[in-house]
Each structure stands twice: as structure tokens, then as C-alpha cells.
Structure 1
Amino acid sequence: MTATQPYPLMMTRLGLAALASLGAACAPVQTTPPSATRTAPAVAASEAAPAPTACPQDLAAIARCLSGQDSAGAFYLIAMPTTWNQRLVLHAHGGPALGAPKAERSVEDLERWSIMVRAGYAWAGSTFRQGGVEVRAAAEDTERLRQIFVQHVAQPQRTILHGQSWGASVAAQGAGMFQRTADGKRPYDAVLLTSGVLAGGTRSYDFRTDLRVVYQYLCHNHPRPTEAAYPLNIGLPRDATMSQNDLQARLNECLGLNKPAAERTAEQQAKVKTIADVIRIPASSIQGHMNWATFHFRDVVQHRTGGASPFGNRGVVYKGSPDDAALNAGVLRYQADPQAVARFGQDTDPTGRIPVPVLTVKGVDDPTAFVELDAQFKATMEQGGSGARLVQTFTRHNTHSYLSDPTYPTLLTALLRWADEGVKPTPESIAQQCPANEAAFGKGCAFLPDYVPAPLASRVYDRTRP
């Protein structure tokens, strides 16, 4: 979803690096119909073999690493544990970052997900060929990396497609797009979606439009009255020179986000509380979500949807402020462009047609990808005919970028048993199995087997849609 949130330590370290090169990506939107599936194309003859490279320090003693750049321009990194369990985890990263891809991104991803290698899995991750919000292109890059692994590294007995955050939407799309290889086999045996943005672009980002208009109602500085006005649902005009630091300065000016709550003025704290109560997000995540509603919205509008915005707030009735009547009368209103919505949805909305087992996990207090998004994904899978192939799990965690070390090996073991033996896990069985992994990977089991998320409409305001 975004690697820009400032709250968890890991998210801060990785998110700032990902945002350092905020800029414009310019590849065209994909035109494959959402219902289409493809035979995974044969890997291009021009795909060179990966070259040996140094592993991150915590894996150097137990793995060898390989890296390269594929024919589309994406960098990638592969880690092969010395003691390999013959399983490959193919990783689709979150974010997305804006601007040209950098090899460092895959290093950061491997560092974060080193638990996979320490648990015996091979790991492969792509930077994707470009920055920006283009899901199907990222799915193609991920499939290309799988083929590079098979051709040049090893033939795994099982391949698990793993998507994290925004990358969960990439994995969900990719699992539906690529259902057979040229020889008739399935490219992916199972799918693991962690902390996922799973309601599709046409619904997952509604609250960020709400954030922009409520913030502007309260603060009047994005844009300022002395600056040229523009529709807030485009993020920024194409030629705007605002940087992430510029935006942060404006947020601090109005809300004092750079200060502890006790050091903010009464006016600043009142505005922070209004935003948190109306948009239903923690104050600590305002900065990150405003980054998305500014820079990523511009990327979507300028490079994915032909200059028109797929985001709108027409018909929203905001609640939770000191004066809701004044707020609803005063916020700017926008209608999403129907063609932009269709174009954006074609690329980003999951179809719910996945032919292999799918396991998800999310912290119930995830401040970035709301837990209610998973309720929407369940409905999508059921509508697409794949409901029986989905098991959702939830944990007590309040973080987004990483939950805990024992969580992921537990999920992978349950998922592979489902793929290998046909034994479908339950949230209860997964919760019961997790403590056995704490001896090897440390404490951190926090599954809530009885938790059921509320519908997305209970968290994000309904609105008039094209």
C-alpha cells in the first residue's frame, strides 16, 4: 500500500528510503481485461543468469545470494539457504515507491523478510520495472522473476506467491493472471497475502480522498489561498514542484505532527483529533496517508488514468467532528470520473478468481491497511468463485510492515500442508500451531482465531459512485 508510514521502526527505515526518490512514473496502464488469464509466457531468451552477490549480514552465514536486472528493467535479488527445503517464496513488495527502480529496494525487502530464508525457504524479490501504482505490470515482473529462478537457479517443488501490503494486490492479481505455464503446470502452488491492500484501488483509497478534503477544510494550506487552486482528488498538478519535505512542513505548520501531543497548541491538537475521529485513522498515520493522497494520487491520475481522477467523495456524510453540519457544508466535493474508475479498476481491483489456496493475515489494528479491507476481499473471492480456497487469519498486532517472526513460518507451513495434502487450515489450527515455532524464531504469536472483521463500509464512508 505504502512504505511511507512513520510509525513502526521498520516501516520508518524502509518507508523513508522508498520515498527518497518521489517522482513521476510514466509507463502506460495495462489493457488486459480483468477477467483474462494467461499462460505464463516463456522467459525471454535475453534473460541473463543472475550473478553472485553478497547477502545481507544476518543471512551471510546460512545462504548464498544472486542478483540481476531483467529484460524489462526490474532489479531482483534471490537468496538460497544452505539447507533448502525445496520451496520458493516469490515476493511482491509493498509501497509502491515512485520514480525509477533501485536495486537497494530488494535488499531492504530481503532484510525485512529474512525469516523466510532462516526457515529454509528460497526467496526471490523484484523491484518491479517502474515506480508507481501499476499492479498488473508488477505482477508480470514477479512472474518473470519466477521463470528466471527456474531457468537459472533451481526447480522448486513448491512455489508460494507472497504479497505484502500493496504487493498483496499484486500477488492477488498475478495469481489470477497466470494460472498455467507453457507445459500446463501451475506457476504458483499457493498464495500468502500479508497486511494486504485487498479491496482494489477503486475502494481501498477512498478514505485518502476524505483525508485531503477534511484536512483542507481545517488547514487551508494544501494548497494555500495564495497558490493556484486545483482539484484535490488529482493529488497535485502535473507540474507541481512540492516535495515530501514541503508537504511535511505544511502538516507540521497546521497540526504540529512533529511535536508530542502535549506540546501542540490547543488549536493544533483539536484539528488532529478532528481528523483522527472523522477519517478514523490514528494521528500517527496522518503523515503517511497524506503522502499517498498527494504524490501517489498524482501518479495515478497523470500516468494511469489519462489525466482524470478515479477518486471522489460525492455523497459522503462525514461524522465525528465538533460540528458535522459545518464540516459537510464546507468540504470540497468531487465526483470520480467514470472512465478513470474503470481504467484504474481494470488494473488494481482483484477478480476473486484464484485457482490455488490463499491464506491471509493482518493485525486487527493495522494503521495502514485497515482490517476491514479483508472483509471486502472475502466478498470478492466469494463472488469470483474462489471463496472455498480462502482462509483469513488475524492477529493482535498494531503494525503494518511486519508482524512477528514466528507468524510467517506458521502460515507457510499451514499453507503448504494445504497445497501438499489437501488439509485446509482453520484460524484455530493456525493459532494452535504457532507456539511451536517460538522456540526457533522467538516470541510473537498473537493470532485471534475468533476475530471477524466488520464490513468496509463500517470504516470508510459510502459515496456516490459512477
Structure 2
Amino acid sequence: MTAMSRRFATLAASALLATSVAAPALAAEEPAHVEGRLPSGATWVMDVPENWNGTLLLFSHGYQAAGQPNPAENAPSEEAAAIALREGYALVGSSYATTGWAVEHAVPDQLATVDEFTRRFGQARRTIAWGQSYGGLVTTTIAERHADRIDGSLSMCGLVHGGIANWNSTLDAAYAVKTLLAPRSNLRLVDFPDPAAASEAAAQMTGVVEQAQTTPQGRARIALAAALHNIPGHNDPAQPEPGERDWEAQQRNQYEVMTRFPTTAMEWRQEAESRAGGNMSWNTGVDYARMLARSPHSREVEALYGSAGLSLQEDLAALADGPRISADPGAVDYMIGNVVFTGELATPQMDIHTTGDGLVPVQVTSAHRDAVTEAGANRELRQAFVGRPGHCTFTAGEQIAALRTVESRIDTGSWGSTEPAAMNARAEAAQPGAEHAYLSYRPAPHPRPFDLAD
């Protein structure tokens, strides 16, 4: 049981019995906390307040690496759960049957959890899917492929660019590290035969990055690799915020992410490849000079190359001429079948993202916006941004404010104001006294085309 589960388990001991008797919607006479297990093996957790307002919130949790604990979660934080329950929302969520890149399990497990809730408590008046990080990807998959099961959705710091775009962007930074910092090494970037090989490659890349950080030339090249993945120069609340032109401080902050990056680029990739049956990403035909020009970090890279006495053009030429990587068509088909987004939203969705996210850079929202625009579904999407470093470092009020915005759109058919002042006012109403930080922001383009056909 998670800490959040333990907190709400005390609300109603009599409701902890896993009975199969369904009660009518809105008829909860006392707070209920119930836990159980699906036939798939996934666990689930449900909290229903005494004053249930008829809205069910389906929460999709973030990525859990293979072998890590995988408890069921039904809210992004204890504080967000407390606010939501106080306001009358029912909360549900599953663990997913497996850890790792488990989208093909996560989506049916989440929908089965809704079915289980309906059997126990009755039909919800409306259902809103919300999720954070990898759970934002699960939520967006539900929104695109199972729109008949929900009334709206909220992705928080989510991978809304989809599976292929995610692994392509990860490959770009890894390719730059190998090509520019370890060109004669045997460093493997894709097609890992097993977890041990991936861990070995991750350790090797970490060593390469750490050694490069000791020289001006190495630091410039790390900055280039980081720019291709759009890693921000202020990405952790513990970091002092660098000045706008303090390139050295920005690079140090990017380096901190790059020392952790191999875990994603190798170990998490290997788990995803094992599901897909091969490598699902490629960099054939990619113009890295053009990608750098589109990056918000291009000036930093140019400045660091200049101070290091390096030729940026020569290194971009090395990236252009290096051995490229092709995808396995079957693995690409797996991704298309499970988690490539078309932008074809049929119900309202809101994306919120922090501007200083080093794990899932904010430019992923540009990819989603472009896809939704191309699909002609602009009316269904709104995006809002929080000016804060870190991955998913929202206040509970900021999350509840976005949730209320989606709910209002469902109720009225109009988004109303999603400007920063309005979003911060909603956040303050939900969580008074916190430092809410919605701001006006337009992210740079995503480094790679979002549309698979491109």
C-alpha cells in the first residue's frame, strides 16, 4: 500500500471489504477506500468521498523501470488527492500489469479499472482521464483511441509526442555523444540483446560524458548533444537559476541531466526494444545542423564552441557523415499499433508542462500541437505552461486548476480563459498560499517532425 493509500484507508474501514455489490452513482453514504486486483495481475485503488459529485478521475501514473516497485496510484500526489476528494471527485487508478514501456497493458488495465469502479459504485456522470509523465502518454492514448470511454483528459508533463518521436529524440543526443566524444569506441546505441548489455552501454556512456566535462572542448560537445534533445539550462529546483547568457552555468546544469541520460537512452530503451521486437527509432536522413538551428540552445552551443576554440561546422559535418541507424520495420509497426499519436482528439484535452523539464523537454507539446492542428482538432486542445525547473514539479493547485479547466470545457462547451492569470487564480482557489507559476510561454519546435510520414 502506498503512503497515499494508507492515508485514505482510515477514512472508512467498513468500505475496505472488496465486495461485488454495486451502489448507484452519487449514493456513497460514507467515504470509501477500496483496493483490489484485475485478472491481468494489475492492482487498483479507488477512493470515493461521501459527497461524490459524480465525476470520476482516472489517473495514469508515471514510468516504473523493470524490476522496480509498481503500486497502484490514483492521484499525482497526496495533496492533489486531498483537494480532489474534498471537492467531491472520485479517484481511481491501476498499477498496470507490468513495469517498463507497458502501454499495451496500461491502457486496457486502466479501462478495466473504470469498469470495476462502475460495478462497485455505479455509473459516473462523467469520467476525466489524467496522468503525468509516462502516464500522460497513457492518458493521451486513451483520449485518441478510446474517446467513447472518457469525457475529457489532462496530460501533465506527458510524453505527448508519442512513442516513436520519444525514442528518435533520445537517439539524437546519444548519437551525438558517441560521434563527437567516443567516435572510435564500440559504444552500442540500439539493439541491446539483454539488460546487462544495456547497463554496460549506459555505464560506458556515463564515463564518456564525465570525462568530456573536464575540458572546454568536451563541455561544448555535451552542450551540442543536449541541444539536440532540447535539455534546458535550468532543469532542477536545486540549481541556482543561470543568467540569460551564463552559458557555462547552463551547460553545467545540462551536464547533470546528461549523466543520468544513459539510463533512459540505453536501459529503458532495451526494455522497450524487447517489447517491440527490435529498434523502433532511426536517424537516417536527419539534418542535425537544421535541428540545432531550431533549438533554443543554439546560441549557447555557438558561444561554448567559440570559447573552446572548436569548429562547430566541422562537428556538424561529423554528425552528417557518421554511420546512421535504421529502424526495424516490425518494431516501428509495434509503436504505431500502440502509441503513435495522430492528433485526432474527439474530446477536450489539456496539456500542462513545466518550462524547465530535463527528462521530457517542453518542446514535446509543440509536437502534439502540430499533430492536433494537422488533424483539424484544434478546438479540443489547450496547452498551458508553468515557469519552473524540473520534471512534473507542479503545485497541487496548478494540477487541480487544469483539471477544473477541462471540466468547465466539458460542461459549457467553451474553454473560457486559459491565460496565466486565470489559471493561477484557479490554482490559488484550490491551494491558497502556494507559489503558482503559470506564465505566457511558446515552446520552440520539436527537434524532429512529429508526423511519422515525414
Give the TM-score taking structure 1 as reference length: 0.72
Alignment of 1:396-435 (within 5 A): 396-428=387-419, 431-435=421-425
Q: Is the 8 A contact 1:59 1:118 kept in 2?
A: no
**Distance apart, 1:53 and its partner CA:** 9.6
What's the counterpart of residue 436 of structure 2?
A: 445
Report the Cα distance in structure 2 between the residues aligned to 1:54 and 1:197, rounded to whole angstroms. Answer: 26
- 1:151 to partner: Cα distance: 0.7
Amino acid in structure 2 at the alignment position of 1:455: P
Q: Which stretch has the larger CA shift, 333-342 or 293-302?
A: 333-342
The question of whether the paired residues in 1 share the 8 Å contact of 2:367 and 2:450 is answered with: no
Tell me the CA shift for residue 70 of structure 1: 0.3
Within 5 Å, which residues of 2 pair with 1:47-66? 55-56=4-5, 59=8, 64-66=32-34
1:209-358 alignment to 2 at 5 Å?
209-220=171-182, 225=185, 229=186, 231-234=188-191, 236-238=192-194, 240-241=196-197, 243=199, 249-250=203-204, 253-256=207-210, 269=219, 272-281=222-231, 282-304=254-276, 306-307=277-278, 309-319=279-289, 320=301, 322-323=310-311, 324-326=313-315, 327-328=318-319, 331-358=322-349
Q: Which has the higher contact order (CA 8 A, sep 6+)?
A: 1
Tell me the amino acid that sits aligned with residue 282 of structure 2. G
Are residue 455 (structure 1) and residue 405 (structure 2) matched? no
Over the matched positions of the two proteins, sequence identity in percent amounts to 24
The secondary structure found in structure 1 opposite 2:130 is strand
Does the aligned pair in 1 maintain the 2:400–2:430 contact within 8 Å?
A: no
Q: SS at the partner of 2:115?
A: helix
d(CA) in 2 for partners of 1:134 and 1:61? 32
Report the more deviating stretch, 287-296 or 67-76: 287-296
Following the alignment from structure 2 to structure 1, what is the Cα–Cα distance between the partners of residues 3 and 165? 41
Unaligned runs of 5+ residues in structure 1 are 1-51, 181-186
Contact 1:213 1:332 (C-alpha < 8 Å) held by counterparts: no
Shift of residue 127, structure 1, vs aligned partner? 1.3
Code of the aligned partner of 2:208? C
RMSD between aligned alpha carbons? 3.5
Q: Where does residue 52 of structure 2 map in the other structure?
A: 84
Question: Which stretch shifts more, 101-110 or 360-369?
Answer: 101-110
| 1:346-371 CA distance string (max 9 Å, x none) | 21111323321111211222222222
1:277 CA displacement:
4.4
Q: Following the alignment from structure 2 to structure 1, what is the Cα–Cα distance between the partners of residues 85 and 120?
A: 19
Rounded Cα–Cα distance in structure 2 between residues aligned with 1:157 and 1:462: 35
Asked if residue 201 in structure 1 is aligned to residue 163 in structure 2, the reply is yes
Deviation at 1:411, TM superposition (A): 1.5
Residue identity opposite 2:110 in structure 1: T
Separation of aligned partners in 1, 2:406 and 2:357: 23
- 1:105 offset after TM fit, Å? 5.1
What is the TM-score with the length of structure 2 in the denominator? 0.74
Quick one: distance in 1 between partners of 2:70 and 2:230? 36
Aligned to 1:104: 71
The size of the alignment, in residue pairs, is: 390
Partners of 2:50 and 2:272 in 1: CA distance? 42
**1-side partners of 2:280 and 2:417: how far apart?**
37
Q: Is the 8 A contact 2:348 2:406 kept in 1?
A: yes
Tell me how far apart the structure 2 counterparts of residues 278 and 432 of structure 1 sit (CA, whole Å).
Answer: 34
Paired residue secondary structure (1:280):
coil
Deviations 1:436-464 (A, max 9, x none): 5425513232222x4333321xx458999
**Partners in 2 of 1:153 and 1:359 — Cα distance?**
27
